[in-house]
Amino acid sequence: MRSVLVTGGNRGIGLAIARSLAERGDRVAVTYRTGEPPQGLFGVRCDVTDEKSVDEAFSQVEQEQGPVEVAVANAGITHDRLALAMTDEDFGRVIDTNLMGTFRVARRAATAMATARWGRLLFVASTVGMAGSPGQANYAASKSALIGLARSMAWELGRRKVTVNVLAPGLIETDMITHVSEKRRAELIRETALGRMGTTEEVAQVARFLASDASSFMTGAVVPVGGGHGMGH
Ligand code: NDP
């Protein structure tokens, strides 16, 4: 049984990944920032914009289920606005959560993984990081930057059998897209080859593979799960 931690695992894509890994037999902890932790999973409160909070969350998980062997950095936000109207604050908030938050989690997780000489780091990015999207300059920048972060850490940790991969979902039905208008959804769906949105379970299946031994020769990879959105990048 491996020790797994999924950030933002209280709902949406993170919860589906956590449940899928728990089903597979892993000991799975999730972080939650607001509300209550999901039933049946070990929940730790954590805000990824705060280094101390990340450190404390990891310490609690280590006590409960041992050093984290699989870390899924999934917590993320959007704060959409056209670039010309976007303030530093709008931009910085998204970078602090999506990019810096992932970095804080990966750095905290990597020490124990390097010592154990095995580990899986998985970053949840977005096809928007590759294709771009109007109104999402901050979000797209934060997500494409995860690729450089993953690939640099992949080089640093590869000899220790720690792999670092990026999962890039396309449009997935979760709370995150509730504010997306029907018109925009239809446009986005037209940009997919499969002609539909994806489900959290479809993302979780790929995460499960990337977290497993079956992906042992993959590192620094960007794996889109977007029905064809952003393909070819
Ligand atoms: P949700 O809005 O449903 O969930 C976001 C999760 O991130 C929540 O668990 C939330 O916690 C957590 N979170 C946000 N900010 C912080 C923070 N500062 N510290 C800790 N946790 C935080 O979104 P999704 O499930 O859709 O998104 C999950 C990931 O997938 C994100 O990184 C997103 O960018 C990415 N993604 C989503 C797509 C989609 O179409 N849905 C497409 C491509 C990528 P809380 O509940 O406490 O707020």
Whether 196 maps to a domain, the answer reads yes
Residue 231 is assigned to a structural domain of this protein:
no
Q: What is the mean pLDDT of residues 99-110?
A: 98
Is the residue at 219 inside a domain?
yes
Count Cβ atoms below 10 Å from residue 169 Cβ, excluding itself. Answer: 25
Residue 174 Cα, ligand 1 centroid: separation in angstroms? 9
| pLDDT > 70 in the chain, percent | 100
Residue 48 lies in a domain: yes
Residue 230, in any domain of the structure: no
- For residue 68, the domain's CATH number is 3.40.50.720
Ligand 1 atom 34: residue of nearest CA = 76
Q: Which residues of 15-28 are buried (b: 16+ CB within 10 A; e: fewer)?
A: bbbbbbbbeeebbb
Indicate the number of domains in the chain.
1
Q: What is the mean pLDDT of residues 204-224?
A: 97
Tell me the pTM. Answer: 0.98
pLDDT classification of 180: cutoffs 50, 70, 90: confident
Q: Is the pLDDT of residue 133 over 90?
A: yes
Using the mean position of ligand 1's atoms as its centre, give its distance from the Cα of residue 154 in Å: 24
Q: What domain range includes position 83?
A: 3-225
User: Is residue 86 a part of any domain in this protein?
Assistant: yes
Annotated catalytic sites, by residue? 139
CA distance 111 to 30: 19
- What are the b/e assignments for 35-50, b being 16+ CB within 10 Å? eebbeebbbbebbbbe
- Secondary structure, 3-state, 177-196: HCCCCHHHHHHHHHCCCCCC
In a domain, 103, yes or no: yes
The stretch 167-192 carries a mean pLDDT of 92
On the 0-12 / 13-18 / 19+ scale of CB atoms within 10 A, 69 is: buried
- 232 falls within a domain: no
Phi and psi of 226, rounded to 5°? -135, 20
